[in-house]
Amino acid sequence: MLRPLGVTELPVSPPHYKREGRALVNVLFVCLGNICRSPTAEGVFRELVRREGLDAVIKTDSAGTSDWHIGEPPDRRAQEAALRRSVDLSDLRGRQTRAQDFDDFDYVLAMDRRNHAALSLLASKGRGDRLHMFLAFAPHLGLTEVPDPYYGAGDGFEKVLDMIEAASRGLLDHIRETDLAR
Ligand code: 4NP
């Protein structure tokens, strides 16, 4: 026979922002080398999340589709450009993307079409909807790709930062309106 639940027997819900030990929202930024664009995006977005007091709710990471810079810190030029905007990338280290990323992350954000194509091959069935072009979150820029600054002119890193700041704000607005509004 069913007994009425006593107060002590009420099921205890985990905090609303936790889901099976994960943060509510997990975001992965992806480029080719994981030393210029994606660590910059991770650093800028992470700082924005921290300033908004959402760092327990939204977790970030970055990765490269290549294995060229595994374990390396971000490119010195990327670190210097980010620091000029008070964003510290020094703790970040390169790693390569893996199929598991589509289970671990709710948002997998490609910097360019080549990264997007490589990622779509990694995404298992039913997980492809987690993959987006990062600049889709800044439609007002009228751009699709964050250009690779690695071999380019000196101001490439500043332009990349401008795009990344805009898309980071758009992404956070989107997450607030969708994932955090529930
Ligand atoms: P990222 O830039 O994809 O923005 O990290 C690059 C970094 C390194 C190389 C290419 C792009 N590379 O040829 O080593």
| Distance, C-alpha 46 to centroid of its chain | 8
Tell whether ligand 1 has an atom less than 6 A from the beta carbon of residue 37.
yes
Class of domain 21-99+127-178: alpha beta
Parse the chain into domains and list their residue ranges. 21-99+127-178
Is the CB–ligand 1 distance for residue 68 below 6 Å? yes
The residue-averaged pLDDT of 22-34 equals: 97
**Is pLDDT above 60 for 18?**
no
| Between 49 and 7, residue with greater pLDDT | 49
Looking at residues 168-174, what average pLDDT do you find? 98
- State in Å: Cα 172 to ligand 1 middle: 26
| CA 35 – ligand 1 centroid, Å | 6
Residue 20: pLDDT band with limits 50, 70, 90: low
Residue 182 pLDDT exceeds 90: no
Atom of ligand 1 at shortest range from CA of 37? 4
Q: Does the annotation count 19 as an active-site position?
A: no
Catalytic residue among 3, 22, 31, 182: 31
pLDDT (0 to 100) of residue 152: 85
Q: Kindly state the average pLDDT of the residues 15-27.
A: 72
174 CA from centroid of ligand 1 (Å): 28
Euclidean distance between CA atoms 162 and 142, whole angstroms: 13
Strands (E), the chain: 18-19, 22-23, 25-31, 58-64, 107-110, 131-133
pLDDT at 124: 86
Residue 11 pLDDT:
45
pLDDT in tens, 77-132: 999 999 999 999 999 999 999 999 999 999 999 999 999 999 999 998 889 999 99
Position 154 scores a pLDDT of: 74
Residue 9 confidence (pLDDT) above 50: no
Kindly report which listed range (13-17, 18-22, 128-132, 173-177) carries the lowest average pLDDT score.
Answer: 13-17
Q: Quick one: which atom of ligand 1 is closest to the CA of 34?
A: 5
User: Using a 6 Å cutoff on CB, does residue 34 contact ligand 1?
Assistant: yes
At residue 39's C-alpha, the angle toward residues 52 and 53, to 5°, is: 10
pLDDT confidence of 13, banded at 50, 70, 90? Answer: very low
pLDDT for position 41: 98
Residue 77, classified by CB atoms within 10 Å of its CB into exposed (0-12), middle (13-18) or buried (19+), is: middle
Q: Look up tokens 């955090």; give the residue.
A: 180
User: Does ligand 1 lie within 6 Å of residue 41's CB atom?
Assistant: no
**Which residues lie across from 61 on neighbouring strands?**
28
Six token digits for residue 3: 């007994």
Q: What's the mean pLDDT when you consider all of the chain?
A: 91
CA of 21 to the centre of ligand 1 (A): 33
